[in-house]
Structure 1
Amino acid sequence: MCGREQEKIMMKRFFKKHGWRYIPGFLFLLISSYITTLAPIALGHAIDYMDMDVALIDQSKVYRQAFYIILIAIGVFITRYIWRYFIIGNSRFLENFLREELFVKLENLPVSFLSKQRSGDLMAYAVNDVGAVRMTFGQVIAMSVSGLSTAVMAIYSMVTKVDPKLTLLALLPVPVAVFVIVKLGGIVRRKFRYVQSLFSELSGEVNETIMGVQVIKSFAKEEERLDEFSDISKTMYDANVNLADTSSLIWPSISVIFGLCYAIGLIVGGHMVLAGKLSLGALVTFNGSLLLVQQPVMSLGRIINMLQRGLASYKRLQVILNQPGIPEKEMEDAQEPVGGDIDIKDLTFRYPETENNALDHISLHLPKGATLGVVGPTGSGKTTLMHLLLKMYPVPERSVYIGGTDITEIPAKAVREQAGFVPQDGFLFSASVRDNIKFYQPGATDEDIVRAAKLASVHDDIASFPDGYDTQVGERGTHLSGGQKQRIALARALIRNPQLLILDDTLSAVDNHTEQQILTRLSDYYDGKTTVIVSHRLSAVKHAQEIIFIKDGQIAERGTHDQLMAQNGLYAQMYLQQEEGGDCDEKK
């Protein structure tokens, strides 16, 4: 299904559920517009009743018109409240709907797409763009229909209640006002798109600074980052000022043009009053109705501005919402239990839009319950191999098998539900330690949580925290050391008791003693389950049944620790270098 069809289905789903709200909204909006046009007429009648000899003035008629004006004000208040409840309220439903759709879409997008996006762009989609679309389907629609209906009814009143020729002459400059608004609106749209792109860049810069504040401070780069931020902020300031300058031309331009309309109405209408062809009250009605025409036209600039922003934002949202997500079959439950030996046969993989293979003719057999060590230099393809085992990227057919079944025939959801993956960065959510550990198992008991923490050798650390397992870890775990974050992330994976445990350089921030303690506990507790350990530190894999050394996407060496040491090759050289380097403390 193409993106355009998906978009139509999505909006159709919204309007099928909430579209009915626009019907009573528009009905009361039209009633409100009609009632509004009655005010100048009532005021004109009151003026005519008073524009005569004092002895002939019927005060009851004047009071009646004043009472009508009060009723009109009350009627406008009630009907306006009702149409705003339905139309503006419905736009809030749309805002919530789009945010949920965007969130679901982001969760369903492949890693290959998300890895190329800036976090600032994604934040702008969820905040600025969704808000701009909401304004389009709320205020813009309401202002457009209200303004158009009020203007049409006011002009009809001017023609029927006052004078057609006077109306035509006074409204002659209005098309010029519309032309100015449309012309400037196109310029505003282009400039707003540029401002939106700068906002994304600025948001990304702020997010990166917050996430990397420790690195920035450790290298004393605060001034440099401030300069970079100031440059982007200054560019955005200039762009916003430029946008404001263009937008600000609309209002005074329309004011000048309508000033001409009033001048024509006053000169021509004044002559008609003096000639006895028009009453003073009718001229007051005319000017009041002309004001009702002016207001929508004056708002036209704002409407076009908001509409242009909404359209630009909607197109930006389409970039995300129309992206092909993970196929539905990948999110289905498995027909049969997933597990067994893992076989990789001549696996070659290349990332999209790259020329070189990330993995080149990889073949290996990993029996169920065995431990595989994966080592090699940075960028050799180790993490890529792990991502393919988890189907984070499309896996070539007939290259990876689990329990004899081609992994392409197994839903990604089923593969990941049987696996526990712990990446190197040890990402933690801004929540308590307890909530982070039981993320995979929301119904986990305290006993389950403590057992997982003990397996990850982090229980004692947690017990020393002021609030224990209820301690808040901060944004991305900023209140914890690197080793504590990694071990809590490990406990999070262990609590689900996975059939396949993948540790992607998970213990890089812990000292050797803690590392060996964790590996020993895992070996005892997870006996009979498959484990893949990716590590730069070879001491973490020396007890694995098989170790592969990957270089430039290919398996350069394979065997047990003793066999590889006997070969005196790349593995042995790296191991001896690390032995000479000695132990290390846990990283902060």
Structure 2
Amino acid sequence: MSIFKDLWWFFKLEKKSYSLGILTLVMLALLHLFAPYAVRVVVDKIEAGTLTVEDLLLWTTLSLVVGLATYCFGFLWRIMLFGASNRLGKLLRNRLYEHFTRMSPRFFHQRRTGDLMAHATNDIQAIVATAGEGVLTLADSIITGGIVVFTMAFFIDWKLTVIALLPMPLMAWATSKYGSMLHKRFHKAQEAFSHTNDKVQENISGVRVIKAFGQEEYEKKEFKKLLDDVVEKNIAVARIDALFDPTIILVVGVSFFLTVAYGSFGVVSGEITIGELTQFTIYLGHLIWPMLAFGWLFNIVERGRASYDRVEALLHIPPDIADRPDAVDQVPSGEVEYRLKSFSYPESDKMVLKDIFVRVKQGETLGIVGKTGSGKTTFLRLLLREFDAEPGSIRIGGIPVTDYKLLRLRQAIGYVPQDHVLFSATVAENIAFGKPEATQEEIEEVARLACIHEDILHFEHGYETLVGERGVTLSGGQKQRISIARALLLDPEILILDDSLSAVDAKTEHLILEALRKNRKQKTTLISAHRLSAVEQADQIIVLENGRVIERGTHQELMQQNGWYKEMYERQQLESLVAEGGGTVGHPTTSPLS
């Protein structure tokens, strides 16, 4: 029952609803005493031969009034208790969502999306059931059971009550034992559900890859294995759950037997009337619900306990990246400076960046190039504080990025990542994601800068065209350009393009870069690219290899160094000529690679 102690903070928050709901249950329990009492009076009058039509009409009318009051109170407690529990679900989901938004990429790298979704859906639903049906069951079973037992003992026969309750300790021991077994098994069942949820999410996201590789049958078999595991673990839960009702029914049956046996002697000896014995057995029937409810309560509580533990464990994970208490509350501006001696990802000994010393003046463009895995994306992500490097090693306007509030830092940066994420919304809404109040004119202006305006006009509904989840209805180049337009709409102090022009042709790339140069004067731009034409006009270019800067300078300066940059540039120029069907190819003596 410790789950109720853990949820006490919420019960205090909703004390009005819970107090009124429980008070209503008390009123209902008292009203439920009326019908057996009415039966007792009528039966005794029948036995005595004194029952009149007026008596029958009176007790029938009173029963109807009590029934109507029961209906009203039943409606009220549902509004109070279930309304409060659903507000708990809303509160916990908001907390989880806000927690997710504060976490760094490391958190999501270590956890599966499907598992996080299971916490936000299945686990919270189990907690809501505990705060609603669980509180109802606990309160109703104690209130109803207590009032009924009190009435039986003090208003009918206390000795008969003791005899009837003799089997109850056996039921208490059995249900407690079942509850502890249920907790362990339900925890495993929830984990199995999380694995299944994750598999579904992963396969739906990657359905095109699965189909392209012809792996549909294999994935079906793998999913069937997961489903079998879920079924097996839930059946293990059901086996324990199935023990509650038979145990309780057995105990109740023994109680009825003892009641009838001992009560019959009481009627014969004149200690109680036949009406009182009838009333007592009806009350004993009323005890069946609290007993059954107690078994059901263990089921609800143990499910809620396991789920609450899982959600709390997630909420107690501190964010890797957080604001300092004295963080600067202003949007960064000025030159960008790296003084990075080394950087390794958390829980990894491999050095990703080393001896990075770069200064980018405000309004300049920095090009970052190098082989795949050379550290280009890491270089850019550190500026965003997706991970933290050495204190003071990265600065904007002379202030370490770790000293700015995260919100202000990211307001200064427009980021276009390699993985272009679009949402299931219209094209216009995707472009205006960072600035929802943007006008249609502003949206179209940045779309023109990103060379996507004409494409959008050819869509069926133009800017109101719905984009499929993650942009599945668009080509790679269209997604890239919409992502660029989204970043440009913010007019950020620093624009980061992380290999964001790889899916567009050379002509479109040239138009986009030319537009950026004209419209981003006095604003800083960082461009990482594999295609060197994207950084050719940059004020400064650095070449990374194994996390180190091996070359730096302008395009002209790098071409004179006869290093990696020149070799790769000439190779790409040759490939471009071949692709266009021009130039002379096949002469080793004149090849730039010779």
Query: Could you tell me which residue of structure 1 aligns to residue 20 of structure 2?
Result: 24
The answer for the alignment partner of 1:257 in structure 2 is 251
Structure 1: gaps (5+ residues)? 1-6
Shifted more, 431-440 versus 361-370: the winner is 361-370
2:97 equivalent in structure 1: 103
**Aligned mate of 1:500, from 474, 494, 497:** 494
Aligned match of 2:590: none
Letter in 2 for 1:182: S
Q: Name the counterpart of 2:584.
A: none
Counterpart of 1:431 in structure 2 is 425
Q: How far, CA to CA, are the matches of 1:470 and 1:195 in structure 2?
A: 43
* Rounded Cα–Cα distance in structure 2 between residues aligned with 1:236 and 1:483: 41
Provide the C-alpha distance between the structure 2 equivalents of 1:576 and 1:197, rounded to a whole number of angstroms.
54
8 Å Cα contact 1:500-1:531 kept in structure 2: yes
Q: Is the 8 A contact 1:334 1:411 kept in 2?
A: yes
Matched-pair contact (CA < 8 Å) for 2:356–2:548: yes
SS at match of 1:249: helix
In structure 2, the residue matched to 1:38 is 34
Return the alpha-carbon distance in structure 1 between the equivalents of residues 345 and 246 of structure 2: 55
**Aligned partners of 2:428 and 2:464 also within 8 Å:** yes
Matches within 5 A, 1:236-247: 236-247=230-241
Unaligned runs of 5+ in 2: 581-594
Q: Distance in 1 between matches of 2:175 and 2:427?
A: 56
Deviates more, 1:360-369 or 1:19-28: 19-28
Structure 1, 427-436 or 504-513: larger mean CA deviation: 504-513
Map 1:268-417; keep pairs closer than 5 Å. 268-325=262-319, 329=323, 334-417=328-411
Shift of 1:558: 2.2
Residue equivalent to 1:4: none
Amino acid at match of 1:42: A
Contact 2:329 2:405 in 1 (8 A): no
**CA gap 1:15/1:276 in 2 versus in 1, 3 angstroms:** closer
Q: Match for 2:183 among 177, 186, 189?
A: 189
Query: Paired residue for 2:540?
Result: 546
Pair 15,144 (structure 1): closer, same or farther in 2 beyond 3 Å: closer
Which one is further off, 558-567 or 162-171?
558-567
One-letter code of the match for 1:271?
Answer: F
Q: Which moved more, 1:167-176 or 1:567-576?
A: 567-576
Instruction: State the distance in 1 between where 2:25 and 2:230 align.
Output: 38
1:47 maps to: 43
Tell me, what secondary structure is at the counterpart of 2:237? Answer: helix
Distance 1:234 1:531 in 2: 53
Deviation at 1:331, TM superposition (A): 10
What secondary structure does 1:115 align onto?
helix
Which amino acid in 1 is paired with 2:521? Answer: D
Change (3 A) 1:360 1:70: same
User: How much is the aligned-residue C-alpha RMSD, in angstroms?
Assistant: 2.3
SS of alignment partner, residue 242 of structure 1: helix
Q: Determine the C-alpha separation between the residues in 2 that align with 1:458 and 1:579.
A: 26
Give secondary structure in 1 for the equivalent of 2:219: helix
What is the CA–CA distance in structure 2 between the aligned matches of 1:302 and 1:310, rounded to whole Å?
Answer: 12
Q: TM-score, normalised by structure 2?
A: 0.92
Change (3 A) 1:197 1:464: same
Q: Is the 8 A contact 1:340 1:402 kept in 2?
A: yes
2:172 corresponds, among 175, 178, 181, to 178
Match of 1:155 in 2: 149
Deviation at 1:196, TM superposition (A): 0.9
Q: Kindly tell me: are residues 527 and 68 of structure 1, through their superposed partners in 2, closer, same or farther at Cα, counting changes over 3 Å?
A: same
Distance in 1 (CA, whole Å) between partners of 2:45 and 2:53 is 8
The CA distance in 1 between the partners of 2:330 and 2:150, in whole Å, is: 73
Match of 1:212 in 2: 206
Give the alignment's TM-score, normalised by structure 1: 0.93
* Structure 2 letter corresponding to 1:517: L
| Residue pair 2:160, 2:262 contacting (<8 A) in 1 also | yes
Q: How many positions carry a matched residue from both structures?
A: 575
- Further displaced range: 71-80 or 229-238: 71-80
Provide the residue aligned with 1:90 in structure 2: 84
Q: Is 1:129 the counterpart of 2:123 in the alignment?
A: yes
Structure-2 change in CA distance of 1:181 and 1:15 (3 Å): closer
Shift of 1:333: 8.8
Deviates more, 1:399-408 or 1:419-428: 399-408
2:207 aligned with 1:203, yes or no?
no
How far did residue 286 of structure 1 move?
1.1
Distance apart, 1:395 and its partner CA: 3.4
Identity of aligned residues (%): 36
CA distance in 1: counterparts of 2:320 and 2:527, whole angstroms? 27
Matched with 2:111 is 117
Q: Are the aligned partners of 1:332 and 1:413 in contact in 2 as well (CA < 8 Å)?
A: no
The 1:207/1:336 distance shift into structure 2, 3 A limit, reads closer
Deviations 1:33-62 (A, max 9, x none): 122133222222222121234xx3334334
Worse overlay, 321-330 or 527-536: 321-330
**1:540-574 deviations in whole A, cap 9, x for unaligned?**
22222222222222223222333334433333444
Change (3 A) 1:539 1:108: same
Which is further off, 474-483 or 371-380? 371-380
